Structure 1
Amino acid sequence: MEEYWANNTFNPYSDTFLKFPFNISFSDTVYASPIDRKKVVTSRYGWRWGRPHHGIDIDLISGDNVRAILDGKVRYVRYHGGHGRTVVIRHENGLETVYAHLSKQLVKENDTVVKGQIIGKGGVTGNARGSHLHLEVRYQGKSINPEYLFDFNKENNIRSKELWVTKKWTNPLKHRSTRRSRVTVYTTEEEAILGKEAESTVYIIRKGDTLWKIARMHQLSVNQLCRLNSIKKTSKLRIGQRIVLN
């Protein structure tokens, strides 16, 4: 848990390489709801307004309690740009959960917290359109679609005690923020490898796309895209055209 520990940096993993698929283990089958009222997801993990949305937004009223969803240790308590007042908690399995747009932070860096403990109050700080909790789940700096790991139902189920994560679930471009993604949970490495091979490796050109924009979204270089698709940097892209990504 202490590796890459930094209180003054939102993402201390910027120089690490993450191999896919990777394993996440849980010691429990349920998490604690981050809010006391019924969970209403107003925006999901995915591509939104021309940029990635790395978490889910849960409706609340300013001043509502915000709770840690798992046991852990507080790594970061700062005002973080568009996230506003933010708390980041690292958990025993290596996951980090991010709680953003808070009006108050009620924990300190390096505090140990338990599942369900109040860590702050909901608000509208940072780049927020109305009061809500922006909740992210990250592993070694990579955001994971929270709905792959957690079922945001009234039972607060963790989808499996053993999960394997493929690139699809760490790439907002593969999801829409306006609808729930269809979840197929991989509980073994073999399932994840087969699922990874079946995942789409083709991008369909949309209005406004450029090779530079596509490369940045998929963490590739323009030269790689050109080699994969036998095109030049000056090639004209057509809406509906398919671009191979790997």
Structure 2
Amino acid sequence: MSLSDSDVVLSVIIPVLNEAVGLPALLAVLAEQAAQCQDTVEVIFVDGGSSDASTVLIAASAFRLISGPRGRAKQMNLGASQAAGSYLLFLHADTQLPERAFERVINTLERGLWGRFDVRIRGDAQMFKVIAWFMNWRSRLSGIATGDQGIFVRETAFIEVGGFPDQPLMEDIALSSALREREAPICLRNKVETSGRRWQERGIWRTILLMWHLRYLYWRGVPAEQLASRYE
């Protein structure tokens, strides 16, 4: 997508690492929504060294592709550093946007500092509805957002808090905590849809208990580097 810097209002930043399976569906949705916003939205994919067809698929699209060091926080910070928009939306590659998502983000950031969407989890397990409900409820109470919920923020605020900390896990929690000190997030009830793959592969209850445990340890001050090895 070829845009002049003066045209861009919203920059959508998507870190990628071996996401070829889900990219065609994501690219189609992004193309449709970007077309609705004319020249006000740019999409930046940041590849962290994919060994599958991810970069080929992105390069064949109308969107921008840059490469950088592996690590979600590193990739998102790199994308933000090259973004032309005054508003930033950080989106996981396995997450699908609701209708008019870009327009909703722009309208929301015109009146607030940052926010996120509600989330639903894609998959057949009935438990996914319960998990998503608790994720959204907990986020409203705590003022903390996760990357699965599509965090969006004014670029000025993102820079002021130092962006995502350079850590292998909980970078979304850390960013949310820093932004929350400035203003509570605006929580949109429109739902992004994220993949339930990791719950299904690892076991739903096992994954829930693991994430609760890791969040507790992080809250207690255990370094993210130590937690990352347990997560993997």
TM range (shorter): under 0.3
TM-score (norm 2): 0.27
Larger Rg: 1
The structure that is helix-richer by fraction is 2
Q: TM-score, normalised by structure 1?
A: 0.26
